[in-house]
Structure 1
């Protein structure tokens, strides 16, 4: 396949660049200092790491979405089509911080998990450029939306569990 003449060139390039952005300046931090086999990490430290990483992922997903929007979708009106088309939209999540704070946290209680399956891969592979661009737009829009929710919920959980709701 000749990538230079392919209609996928821009999409492939965007995918490669986004992958590089996700791994750019990522340095794994050892959980245990000095590579110790047995060590204990505080819950606070674990939450700190999770919050930092989730914030970083949300910032990267926002940058990817913004760059894609600027470069490929200006004037196409994709936002009105994408508002409620995330495959995770059907998952029940609080609408705002106040609703999220009303949820009780019980680590010992496990509910039946409902997993939402993403079925967008065929749309990313369509020959029609408009459909393909919308599929990428929607994917990045949903990634940004969901990473924002995860970032906020992790911060809320940290506040509730580590700081006993004193934030």
Structure 2
């Protein structure tokens, strides 16, 4: 018989509680919570980029174009009308794929922030870690939402990213700025797509207008 330590018992109890909470929520509550989490994610990415830009200006000519973001190969809607025309399952699949494509890059941002030559790198590090945690929380919530909606596993594969931020200070700064700019763009997409999905599910109809 396996004995659990008091700490592991507490963690298991907390996990069971949150699982029960998720199972007891109706679709509207799950949608609302997902949108609230995506709002936080986008706000935090904008706040982190503002902190970086305010104290460590980077020559824009050195920053790659957003069209070179690793997620640019994903065929995501560029117009609201296109997103509205997609079936709910397809739209949710795209949202989850886009978010999962940022799992490794956000981990890189959160783990390498302290190596930046920045006067407030501790603040940046704290926000980068929060960004990673919020992303994981949203990913868990979207899985619960997909299960509740009865959607099939995603037909899209997350875009892999296995690069580090670089060896020298300049390349670290440029790559950090570039990744953060890409994520801010994609977090805005995720937020908008989720609000459209909530509308298509018959919740908060004004988002469809």
Question: Using the alignment, how far apart are the partners of 2:187 and 2:173 within structure 1?
Answer: 21
Question: Using the alignment, how far apart are the partners of 1:68 and 1:38 within structure 2?
Answer: 36
Question: Using the alignment, how far apart are the partners of 2:21 and 2:203 within structure 1?
Answer: 29
- What secondary structure does 1:84 align onto? helix
**Residue 24 of structure 1: aligned partner:** none
Q: Would you say 1:93 and 2:76 are equivalent positions?
A: yes
Aligned residues: 131
Structure 2 regions of 5+ residues with no counterpart? 1-16, 90-149
- Deviation string 1:75-94 (CA, Å, 9 cap, x unpaired) is 34245x23212111111100
**Residue 143 of structure 2: aligned partner:** none
Alignment of 1:3-152 (within 5 A): 40-79=24-63, 81-106=64-89, 108=151, 110=153, 112-121=155-164, 124-127=165-168, 129-152=169-192
8 Å contact kept, 2:49–2:181:
yes
Question: Using the alignment, how far apart are the partners of 1:114 and 1:93 within structure 2?
Answer: 13
**Residue 155 of structure 1: aligned partner:** 195
Question: Using the alignment, how far apart are the partners of 1:147 and 1:164 within structure 2?
Answer: 20
Greater percentage in helix: 2
RMSD: 2.7
8 Å contact kept, 2:58–2:174:
no
Q: Per the alignment, do residues 111 and 45 of structure 1 end up closer, same or farther by CA in structure 2, a change over 3 Å counting?
A: closer
Structure 1 regions of 5+ residues with no counterpart? 1-29
Question: Using the alignment, how far apart are the partners of 1:119 and 1:50 within structure 2?
Answer: 27
